[in-house]
Amino acid sequence: MAGLDLRNLVKAYGRTEVLHGISLHVDDGEFVVLVGPSGCGKSTTLRLIAGLDEPTSGDIEIADRNVNRLEPKDRNVAMVFQNYAIYPHMTVRKNIGFGLRTSRLPKREKEKRLEEVAAILEMTDLLERKPAQLSGGQRQRVAIGRAMVRDPDVFLFDEPLSNLDAQLRTLMRLEIKKLHQRVGNTIIFVTHDQVEAMTMADRIVIMNDGNILQAGTPSDVYYNPANRFVAQFIGAPSMNMLPGLVAPDGVRLRNGSTVDVRIDAREGRPVEVGVRPDDFILDGPDPFIEGTVVVREPLGHETLVYLETPAGELTAKAGGRTPPELGQRLALGADTASIHVFDASTGESVRRR
């Protein structure tokens, strides 16, 4: 096992720069998820770590060793791809063992390691089957097994669950998390799915346009987003944004009401008040905006409620048993501690008093 350091990493293709000097430290044994929209640079970052591409500038260190000039085979990393990349004509045993084809280990040691990996992945009874005889989740485990058998310093996962159906994705998220708890290797996992990131990561790194916008625990980035992009990318449904201006007694919204939140900003400064759907209080004390229910999405234990308001369409959550009726007028408020404020021009979080 080993830690990982990226220092001022830049990647350009011709005149187009896709990574703009990112830096990141990953502790030994940490499970880090890179998350962001398509084209944000997360898969490029993974390819640079793996050695499948070369950085334009900057340094990559694995286990305190600069690997910029090392071939992929010499970096002691293992990559699991989105499309499995397992051989259909080979058995599970041969597919997993393929990861050791260049190893100089004795044959007996190779077999021992293969059996250990198969046991960890609960695939011992499937070793003589071919991929066509396996489910999607089992094929993904074969791909993971081929990476594990090498005993790498760092595991690299490039959106490995995106081709699976919803139920299988949930199961495989749990399997990979259990696997990390058992073997303890450093894992860098790339996904565009913020639910995967929240449920699996020790630490989430949110990327956009080739930059790292925030890195922190799932709780950190959810409850303390550094900027508007993070606030709206993490969490489903997205955080609601209500435009307003800084006033002496809080933030004045466009409907004329005031949100009682004190911030360090000059009076009249344009800001946006952020409230997560979970944090809206329906028809409670001290409401600051009203809206009409236009759509309901029943989810069983809760109902998503979409409202037309003077600030545009807002989303709130209500109970599943007795949700509001379509066309019903609701007053919305929120506890001050759960309210976020962002600068309207930069999108950065504004410090509160």
The confidence band for 1, taking pLDDT boundaries of 50, 70 and 90, is low
Question: What local confidence, expressed as pLDDT, does residue 159 receive?
Answer: 87
Is the domain of 208 the same as that of 307?
Answer: no
Cβ atoms 123, 46 nearer than 8 A: no
Q: Is 353 helix (H, G, I), strand (E, B) or coil?
A: coil
Is the domain of 266 the same as that of 132?
Answer: no
Give CA angle at 69 (65, 72), nearest 5°. 85
Is the domain of 85 the same as that of 171?
Answer: yes
Question: What local confidence, expressed as pLDDT, does residue 335 receive?
Answer: 92
Decide which of 213, 232, 251 is a domain's last residue: 232
Nearest Cα neighbor of 323 from 307, 309, 310 is: 307
How far is the C-alpha of 310 from the C-alpha of 256, rounded, in Å?
Answer: 10
Q: Is 272 helix (H, G, I), strand (E, B) or coil?
A: strand
pLDDT at 130 exceeding the cut of 70: yes
Is the domain of 111 the same as that of 251?
Answer: no
Listed range (170-174, 292-296, 344-348) with the worst mean pLDDT: 170-174
pLDDT tens, residue by residue, 138-163: 888 888 888 878 778 898 999 888 77
Question: What local confidence, expressed as pLDDT, does residue 178 receive?
Answer: 82
Nearest Cα neighbor of 43 from 153, 201, 160, 136 is: 160
Phi, psi at residue 259, to the nearest 5°? -90, 125
Decide which of 232, 258, 275 is a domain's last residue: 232
Is the domain of 214 the same as that of 311?
Answer: no
Q: What is the pTM of this model?
A: 0.87
Number of structural domains, the chain?
Answer: 2
Is the domain of 250 the same as that of 312?
Answer: yes
Is the domain of 195 the same as that of 168?
Answer: yes
Nearest Cα neighbor of 177 from 131, 169, 234 is: 169
Which CATH number do you get for residue 74? 3.40.50.300
- For residue 224, CA distances in Å to 190, 218, 257, 330 come to 22, 10, 25, 28
Q: Hey, what's the torsion of the CAs at 13, 14, 16, 20, to 10 degrees?
A: 60
Is the domain of 272 the same as that of 339?
Answer: yes
Q: What sign does the dihedral 44-46-50-55 (CA atoms) show?
A: positive
Is the domain of 13 the same as that of 70?
Answer: yes
Is the domain of 304 the same as that of 176?
Answer: no
Question: What local confidence, expressed as pLDDT, does residue 351 receive?
Answer: 81
Domain housing 188: 4-232
In this structure, what DSSP letter does residue 348 have?
Answer: B
Question: What local confidence, expressed as pLDDT, does residue 119 receive?
Answer: 85
Nearest Cα neighbor of 299 from 278, 319, 327, 324 is: 319
How far is the C-alpha of 9 from the C-alpha of 47, rounded, in Å?
Answer: 12
Cβ atoms 317, 303 nearer than 8 A: yes
pLDDT tens, residue by residue, 172-221: 888 888 888 887 889 999 998 888 999 999 999 999 999 999 999 999 99
Decide which of 200, 232, 264 is a domain's last residue: 232
Is the domain of 127 the same as that of 156?
Answer: yes
How far is the C-alpha of 48 from the C-alpha of 52, rounded, in Å?
Answer: 6
How far is the C-alpha of 353 from the C-alpha of 337, rounded, in Å?
Answer: 12
pLDDT tens, residue by residue, 118-129: 887 788 988 999
Q: Over range 215-235, report the average pLDDT.
A: 95
What does the chain come to in residues? 353
Cβ atoms 342, 271 nearer than 8 A: yes
Is the domain of 175 the same as that of 298?
Answer: no
Question: What local confidence, expressed as pLDDT, does residue 71 receive?
Answer: 92
Question: What local confidence, expressed as pLDDT, does residue 111 receive?
Answer: 86
Cβ atoms 44, 38 nearer than 8 A: no
